Amino acid sequence: MIIHKDCYSTIFKVWLVGAICVFLILKFIPWTFVAYPLCTLPLSVMGFVLFFFRVPDRKKVGGEEAVTSVADGKVVVIEKVYEPEYLKCECMQVSVYMDFFNVHVNFWPISGEVTYYKYHPGKYFLAYLPKASELNEHSSIGIKGAHGEVFFKQLAGTFARRIVCYAKPGNIENKGDQCGIIKFGSRIDMYLPLDADIKVSLGEHVKASETIIAELR
């Protein structure tokens, strides 16, 4: 299992706290039938944090016109909206919500040139709430490919307190390569042209790089 390179410090901190907890339990609780079951809690957290920051091996699907999911998770929004920050026009918004058990590594949805990047500090509302898109801490990224431009946001949530993004305007990126990670539960908002052919439905569970969200015309 490959662990994300930007999560080593987080894993070290969790493991350090977990090891201290195990040490204190074994030192100060003399009854093994009590101490051993208690130790399973910090040990489980230590194991889960490794699982949480795993990097999956994903296949790239679709042609240049196919827009694949930036993240694993559940589709919670499909609607026509006005995007005021960068595109400044009506778009189709498709949002994917990630829970604790989803892979949190993010992947480029199309190949092309990075046209926009901006980090926005903000609040930490529950990521599935509509107001989270504007008020929560987030990164905004635009990428332009051969068949059009895709704009998306990495949104922090109540527990997601750090967003890592590799976007640099002017860089050429490949669909399916890593573009960042959001730590501990969050959401991705994708903004697509109005004439994009949406291929997913509300409530559908999608996989980054392997689920086609839409096809650009």
Instruction: Check residue 114 and give its pLDDT.
Output: 98
Copy the structure tokens of residue 89.
């026009």
The catalytic residue among 111, 186, 201, 209 is 186
Q: What is the spatial distance between Cα 217 and Cα 198, in angstroms, rounded to a whole number?
A: 11
- Is 209 considered catalytic here? no
Instruction: Check residue 125 and give its pLDDT.
Output: 64
10-residue stretch averages of pLDDT, the chain, 217 residues long: 72 90 92 91 87 80 94 95 95 92 89 96 66 76 95 80 88 94 83 96 95 95
Instruction: Check residue 124 and give its pLDDT.
Output: 63
Instruction: Check residue 183 and give its pLDDT.
Output: 75
Instruction: Check residue 129 and give its pLDDT.
Output: 61
* Per-position b or e across 95-109, b if 16+ CB within 10 A of its CB: bbbbeeebbbbbbbb
Q: What is the spatial distance between Cα 170 and Cα 77, in angstroms, rounded to a whole number?
A: 30
Q: Which of 215, 207, 153, 157 is nearest to 180 (CA)?
A: 153
Tell me the three state secondary structure of residue 10: helix
Q: What is the spatial distance between Cα 184 and Cα 204, in angstroms, rounded to a whole number?
A: 21
Q: Kindly report whether the global pTM for this prediction surpasses the value 0.95.
A: no
Q: Which of 149, 132, 176, 139 is nearest to 92 (CA)?
A: 149
The dihedrals phi and psi of 81, each to the nearest 5 degrees, come to: -140, 165
33, burial (CB in 10 Å: exposed 0-12, middle 13-18, buried 19+):
exposed
Q: How many beta carbons lie within 10 A of that of residue 27, not counting itself?
A: 9
